[in-house]
Structure 1
Amino acid sequence: MSQKHPIIAVTGSSGAGTTTVMKSFAHIFRRENIRAQVIEGDSFHRYNRVEMRAKVRAADHGEGPQISHFGPESNLLAELDTTFAGYAKNGGGQVRRYIHDAGEARELGGEPGTFTDWQPMAESDVLFYEGLHGGFTGPGVDVARHVDLLVGVVPIINLEWIQKLHRDQNLRGYSQEAVVETILRRMPDYVNHICPQFSRTHVNFQRVPTVDTSNPFIAKDIPSADESMVVIRFAKPRGIDFPYLMSMLHGSMMTRPNTIVIPGGKMGLAMQLIFTPMILRLLDLKRRAG
């Protein structure tokens, strides 16, 4: 952690909805005129798309252990740790982008599934990370220790699978069988490396559908925000004005001293209400640290 150079990280698994949260933070940054250096978790993958597919095929044929983007073997987590540490110390470092599709290829140059070159960070007020490993700790690596505000985005597992199935089938052209294989391949890494991060977060958002998702593999559509509730858990509730939040978030209720449940459609508003004062507090500490 660093008062001079604060770091905010949103962590959640693929298909969890972290991109939606990223847009909420972008709105806060824009409204409050905050310069944020954005790091996408995908940019710290160890392998490009072709290399990763080759690694997966080899593992499927018994040539080495199973591998997934959830685990440390396929990510540059020591380098992410070093990047966070460097930013916390001097407000700078190196960043690159992972090129996801043809649109980004036109914007960034290069081929889909590859990386841009490393470039120096721009001058910024905060570092903002969105990806799989913002709260990761492991042998010789402790990414979480550098983060001043760590946010988890964790839909219940059936909803997460529904979102992934629909995205990968409809937007990326994968068969259901291929998506299910990926889910099964990732499960050990999900249990061992993704879930533990949500015990280190300062705030968790967990979307829970209010419709039947018992069999996610036959779901025809993704439950909408209005068909969901969101459970918001604060690790340290002291200083959180729960009466104010409940007055602003109609239909909300408290279920534990550190937990508020809100209608799914109010998740964006809740993020504005919760994170704006937190971010401004970080920037006030930054100014005081000089």
Structure 2
Amino acid sequence: MSRLHPIVSVTGSSGAGTTSVMRTFQQIFRREGVDVAYVEGDSFHRFDRLEMKMEIADAHARGEHTFSHFGPESNLFDELEDLFRSYAEIGTGRVRKYLHDEAEAQSYGQEPGTFTPWEQIQDDTDLLFYEGLHGAVVSDTVNVARHADLRIGVVPVINLEWIQKLHRDRVVRGYTSEAVTDTILRRMPDYVNYICPQFSYTDVNFQRVPVVDTSNPFIARSIPTADESMLIIRFRDPHGIDFPYLLDMLRDSFMSRPNTIVCPGGKMDLAMQLIFTPMILRIVERRNAELVAR
């Protein structure tokens, strides 16, 4: 953690909704005039799209059916921790981009599913913002979580997460239901060992819970909407959180535990604005005070 070079980390599995959270933070940063270095977790995959397909095929040929994007074999955990450590110490570090589609790839003159070359983050940014799979990962060899000043988890209940992934991969990526189901099953051990434990380290968790039947996510025809959901917001440390204010602003909300608010799912963006704007302002004020002291 760093007063001078703070890091905000949003973590969640594929299809959890971390990209939507990033858009809300972009609004906060733009409104408050915060200069941010953005880092996508996909850029720390070990293999590009074609290489990953080959690695999965090789793993299957060896009888290994749990090789996935979630585990250490297919991710650069050491490099991710090096980035967090370097940014916290000197305000820069090595990053690259993963080019998801034709639009992104065209501007770099590369193929979709490839990485851009490594480069240094520009100097003098106010903070680093990470969004991806492993922003709070802790293993036997790395501890990414300890370097972040604010850690946020985005965790739909598992059936909703599967529904979101099934719909995204079928509609956007053109995969079959069988292929997506195979991916879900293959990822499960790494999900349990490397995704779930991160939410013990996050400072704030957002979990969307549908109030419609999702008992069989593999036949769901549509994704439950925000208005068909409740949002559970859990604070790891409730000290300093103005719960009466939040409850007043988030109408129809209530506290289920001393550190947990439950509110209508449609209020997620408002909840994040109310909760994180003062947190970001405190982080920036602390950074500015440190700059003055030096």
Provide TM-score, normalisation by structure 2: 0.97
Q: CA deviation at 1:63?
A: 5.7
**Alignment deviations for residues 85-130 of structure 1 (CA, whole Å, 9 cap, x no partner):** 0000000112110001111112333110100011221231000000
**Structure 1 counterpart SS, 2:164:** helix
Aligned residues: 290
On the 8 A contact 1:49/1:113 being kept in 2, the answer is yes
**Alignment deviations for residues 168-220 of structure 1 (CA, whole Å, 9 cap, x no partner):** 00000000000000000000000000000001000000000010000000000
- 1:274 partner amino acid: I
* Aligned counterparts of 2:245 and 2:64: Cα–Cα separation in 1: 54
**Structure 2 counterpart SS, 1:220:** coil
* Aligned counterparts of 1:30 and 1:128: Cα–Cα separation in 2: 13
Q: CA deviation at 1:20?
A: 0.3
- 1:107 partner amino acid: S
Matches within 5 A, 1:170-185: 170-185=171-186
**Alignment deviations for residues 211-241 of structure 1 (CA, whole Å, 9 cap, x no partner):** 0000000000000000001000000001000
> Structure 2: where are the runs of 5+ without partners?
none
Match of 1:106 in 2: 106
Match of 2:44 in 1: 44
Match of 1:225 in 2: 226
**Structure 2 counterpart SS, 1:137:** coil
Please say which of residues 149-158 and 61-70 is displaced more in the overlay.
Answer: 61-70
> Structure 1: where are the runs of 5+ without partners?
none
Matches within 5 A, 1:240-259: 240-259=241-260
* Aligned counterparts of 2:22 and 2:277: Cα–Cα separation in 1: 13
* Aligned counterparts of 2:243 and 2:67: Cα–Cα separation in 1: 42
On the 8 A contact 2:16/2:154 being kept in 1, the answer is yes
Q: CA deviation at 1:64?
A: 5.4
Match of 1:69 in 2: 69
- 2:3 partner amino acid: Q
The percentage of counterpart residues that share the same residue type is 63
Provide TM-score, normalisation by structure 1: 0.98
* Aligned counterparts of 1:238 and 1:13: Cα–Cα separation in 2: 28
Match of 2:128 in 1: 127
**Aligned-residue RMSD, C-alpha:** 0.9
On the 8 A contact 1:109/1:116 being kept in 2, the answer is no
| 1:208 corresponds to 2:218 | no
**Structure 1 counterpart SS, 2:213:** coil
